[in-house]
């Protein structure tokens, strides 16, 4: 069991934004999720929680969230290129989801799958940026690492 996360946004300006899922530790939702993950056995297996935390950013505070979003705000074009899912990723997930949904269901439409993959990948990217931020390093260095990783793939 997990708490439904909030949405966070990296904004370049106006309407150009990238969305990701997040929780803030010092909120009710963050505290309940922490209780689920540490204090209540049998509510979620470890693998499920790992997958959840992989794509959801867990901030210490609203201020930390706002600061990281601000630092990345001017980089939305570069970030969008890095997190854009490949057609084979969309098709692969659609195939796995077809076991649980009808092909006409909204959830398995390529545009929805693409958006889900974008949000999850942005969450992973933001988690790396958050580690850099908390360590006092330049968060934009994560962009360079992801560019190198994408060039190898």
What is the per-residue pLDDT across 32-51, written as a single tens digit (0 to 9) for each?
555 445 555 544 555 555 66
In a domain, 105, yes or no: yes
Asked if residue 85 lies in contact with residue 121, where contact means CB atoms within 8 angstroms, the answer is yes
What pTM does this model have? 0.80
Task: Say how many domains are in the chain.
Answer: 1
pLDDT above 70 as % of the chain: 76
Residue 7 vs residue 147, higher pLDDT: 147
Q: How far apart are CA 102 and CA 151, in angstroms?
A: 36
In a domain, 22, yes or no: yes
Q: How far apart are CA 44 and CA 1, in angstroms?
A: 5
In a domain, 38, yes or no: yes
In a domain, 1, yes or no: no
In a domain, 145, yes or no: yes
Q: Which domain holds residue 97?
A: 6-64+72-152
| pLDDT tens-digit map of 82-92 | 999 999 998 88
Q: How far apart are CA 108 and CA 117, in angstroms?
A: 12
In a domain, 14, yes or no: yes
In a domain, 77, yes or no: yes
């Amino acid at each position: 069991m997990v708490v439904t996360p909030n949405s966070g946004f990296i904004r370049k300006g106006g309407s150009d934004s990238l969305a990701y899922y997040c929780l803030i530790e010092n909120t009710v939702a963050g505290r309940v999720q922490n209780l689920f993950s540490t204090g209540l056995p049998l509510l979620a297996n470890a693998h499920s929680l790992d997958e959840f935390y992989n794509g959801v950013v867990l901030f210490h505070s609203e201020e930390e969230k706002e600061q990281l979003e601000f630092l990345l705000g001017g980089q939305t074009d570069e970030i969008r290129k890095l997190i854009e899912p490949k057609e084979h990723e969309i098709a692969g997930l659609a195939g796995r989801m077809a076991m649980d949904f009808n092909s006409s269901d909204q959830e398995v439409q390529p545009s929805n799958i693409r958006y889900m993959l974008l949000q999850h990948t942005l969450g992973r990217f933001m988690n790396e940026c958050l580690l850099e931020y908390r360590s006092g390093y330049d968060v934009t260095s994560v962009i360079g690492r992801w560019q190198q990783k994408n060039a190898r793939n």
